[in-house]
Amino acid sequence: MTATATLTRTPFFDWHLARGGRMVDFAGWAMPVQYASIVEEHQATRQAVGLFDISHMGRLTISGPEAAKFLDCLLTRRVDDMRPGQIRYSLVTNADGGILDDVLVYCLEKNPTGTDGGPAYPLVVNAGNREKILDWLKDRATEFAARVVDDSANTSMIAVQGPAAVGIADAMTGGAVSSLKYYHGTTAEIDGTEAYVSRTGYTGEDGCEIVCSNAHATAIWESLIAEAEKVGGRACGLGARDTLRLEAAMPLYGHELSENVNAAQAGLRFAVTLGDRDFIGREAFERFAADPHQPMRVGLHIESRRVAREGSAVLSRGKTVGEVTSGTFSPTLDRPIAMAYVEPRTAASGAQLTVDIRGSEVPAVVVPLPFYKRRGNV
Amino acid sequence: VNPEELLFAKTHEWVSVAEEDGSKIATVGISAFAVEALTDLVFIELPKTGRPVTALEPFCEVESVKAVSDIYAPVSGEVIAVNEGLPDDLESLSTDPYGAGWIAKIRIKDPASLEALMDYETYQKQCAEEAE
The DSSP code sequence of A239-276 is: HHHHHHHHHTT---BTTTB-TT-BTTTTT-GGG---TT
Hey, what amino acid is at A215?
A
Chain A positions touching B68 (Cβ under 8 A) are 307, 309, 358
Residue A351, chain B, CB below 8 Å: the answer is no
Residue type at A195 in one-letter notation = A
- 8 Å CB contact of A39 and B40: yes
| ipTM attached to this prediction | 0.88
Q: Is B116 on the interface with A (CB under 8 A)?
A: no
Q: How far is CA A359 from the centre of its chain?
A: 32
- Classify the C-alpha dihedral A91-A94-A99-A103 as positive or negative: negative
Q: In sequence order, what are the residues at sequence separation of 6 or more whose Cβ sits closer than 8 angstroms to the Cβ of residue A316?
A: A342, A343, A346, A351, A353, A354
Distance between B84 CA and the closest CA of chain A, angstroms: 15
Cβ-contact A260, A98 below 8 angstroms: yes
- Which residues of chain B have a CB within 8 Å of the CB of A36? 39
Per-residue pLDDT of chain A (378 residues; tens, 9 = 90+): 446 789 999 999 999 999 999 999 999 999 999 999 999 999 999 999 999 999 999 999 999 999 999 999 999 999 999 999 999 999 999 999 999 999 999 999 865 555 556 789 999 999 999 999 999 999 999 999 999 999 999 999 999 999 999 999 999 999 999 999 999 999 999 999 999 999 999 999 999 999 999 999 999 999 999 999 999 999 999 999 999 999 999 999 999 999 999 999 999 999 999 988 999 999 999 999 999 999 999 999 999 999 999 999 999 999 999 999 999 999 999 999 999 999 999 999 999 999 999 999 999 999 999 999 998 654
Note whether A305 contacts B: Cβ–Cβ < 8 A.
yes
Compute CA distances A76 → A27, A93, A358, whole Å.
25, 7, 38
Short-list B62, B68, B40, B45, CA closest to A310: B68
Global confidence as pTM = 0.94
Bridge partner list, A363: A354
Rounded CA gap, A177 and A156, in Å? 18
pLDDT score at A3: 63
pLDDT by residue (tens digit) across A246-263?
999 999 999 999 999 999
Q: Among partner residues B43, B66, B87, which is closest to A38 by beta-carbon distance?
A: B66
Which residues on A lie below 8 Å from B67 (Cβ)?
Answer: 309
> pLDDT by residue (tens digit) across A6-36?
999 999 999 999 999 999 999 999 999 999 9
Is the Cβ–Cβ distance between A279 and A306 less than 8 Å? no
What are the backbone dihedrals phi and psi of residue B111, each rounded to the nearest 5 degrees, phi first?
Answer: -55, -20
CA–CA–CA angle A94, A99, A101 (5° rounding): 105
Question: CA dist A167 to A49, A173, A181, A268, B81, Å?
Answer: 10, 10, 14, 31, 54
